[in-house]
Amino acid sequence: MKYSVLDLAPVTEDGSVGESLRNSADLAQHAERWGYHRFWMAEHHNMTGIASAATAVALGYVAGKTDKIRIGSGGVMLPNHAPFVVAEQFGTLDALYPGRVDIGLGRAPGTDGRTLRALRRKPDDAEQFPNDVQELLGYLEEAQESDAIKAVPGFQQKIPVWLLGSSTFGAQLAAHLGLPYAFASHFAPDYLQHALKAYRDNFRPSRYLSKPYVAAAMNVFAADDESEARKMMSSMQQQFIALRRGMPGPLKAPVDDIRAVAAPHELAGANHALTYTAVGTKETVQRHLQQFIDDTGIDEIILTSHVFDHDARLRSFEIAADALNALE
């Protein structure tokens, strides 16, 4: 079972963007040693608690600090970009770090309406997503010498393209195009099984894949003590609640009792979003991971650990790697 990191590059309430990105590189270095296969970073805009808005730039920094772990966008929100520019950006990464780059594509804007306008995009740009994906593929491996427009770098480079999703839309498109698919079950649990079934049932073999390849994401808050693991999780719970209140901000410090800072309905909503979460010591986390893998039949598991303290986050990923290796 391959296992990967989704790093949300958290900016803490007492930290900075620079510190966050340096922590991302440090995490990637450790993840490489612990056997993680891939290191994903995500595009979010106008979010003071996430530092990876310029995803390709951040990935280039991480790649330069590591030796072999794959780097990928989890994802680039394609409606925010011209496919030609994405081909050039990731073609550049692949030229510098050959055989290590993945392009994960999302359909959501990854931001609010006002920021969408600042990006010079319109709300209905997402409707062009299927066409934009195929246009991007046409600039990469499918490009022809006779093409009038060539993405350089990018032209004829074999960079794996993934589709990401939190509903069945992306699953069906990935199946139709014969591309690998990753589901955002770490915050959108409701359609996980529906999306996996849609992808597998409708998959068409392609030049990229002969059979379906699917990954799904899970939160992990692992520590050497159960109570400490649950306290670590409270930062993520607070962030979900702040987002629902329309008050997103830097990642808050953990609290001893999350019920002291959240109303019952708010906590219920956050916990539902975090349905697929492994929290506890190695033994507890291992049981949760095994159950998730068994229930989904995924080919690869993506772990994210949105933790306030960087050393605690490193320890969480280390314990998770040990737990996964013990399953094999």
| 113 has pLDDT over 90 | no
Max CA separation in the chain (angstroms): 64
Q: What is the pLDDT of residue 114?
A: 81
Nearest CA to 326 out of 292, 291, 282, 296 is that of: 282
257: in domain: no
Q: What is the pLDDT of residue 111?
A: 65
- DSSP letters for 234-282: HHHHHHHHHHHTT---SBPPP-S-GGGTS-HHHHHHHHHHT-SEEEESH
Of the segments 103-112, 118-127, 298-307, 319-328, which one has the largest average pLDDT value?
A: 298-307
Give per-residue pLDDT as tens, 225-273: 999 999 999 999 999 999 999 899 999 999 999 999 999 999 999 999 9
48: in domain: yes
8: in domain: yes
Nearest CA to 148 out of 204, 210, 84 is that of: 84
Kindly report the number of other CB atoms within 10 A of residue 4's CB atom.
Answer: 23
55: in domain: yes
Per the CB < 8 A criterion, the answer to whether 41 and 62 are in contact is yes
Give per-residue pLDDT as tens, 132-165: 999 999 999 999 999 999 999 999 999 999 999 9
Per the CB < 8 A criterion, the answer to whether 183 and 217 are in contact is yes
| 294 has pLDDT over 90 | yes
| 212 has pLDDT over 90 | yes
Predicted confidence band of residue 328 (pLDDT cuts 50, 70, 90):
low
Mean pLDDT of 189-198: 98
Nearest CA to 279 out of 207, 189, 236, 219 is that of: 219
Tokens of 218: 């899970």
Q: What is the pLDDT of residue 122?
A: 75
| 15 has pLDDT over 90 | yes
Give residue 9's domain range: 2-220+277-327
Give per-residue pLDDT as tens, 84-107: 999 999 999 999 999 999 999 999
231: in domain: no
Kindly report the number of other CB atoms within 10 A of residue 123's CB atom.
Answer: 11
Counting the structural domains of the chain, the total is 1
267: in domain: no
The residue type at 122: K
More confident residue, 127 or 165: 165
Q: What is the pLDDT of residue 9?
A: 96
33: in domain: yes
CATH code at position 177: 3.20.20.30
Q: What is the mean pLDDT of the chain?
A: 95
Mean pLDDT of 309-322: 98
244: in domain: no
Predicted confidence band of residue 120 (pLDDT cuts 50, 70, 90):
confident
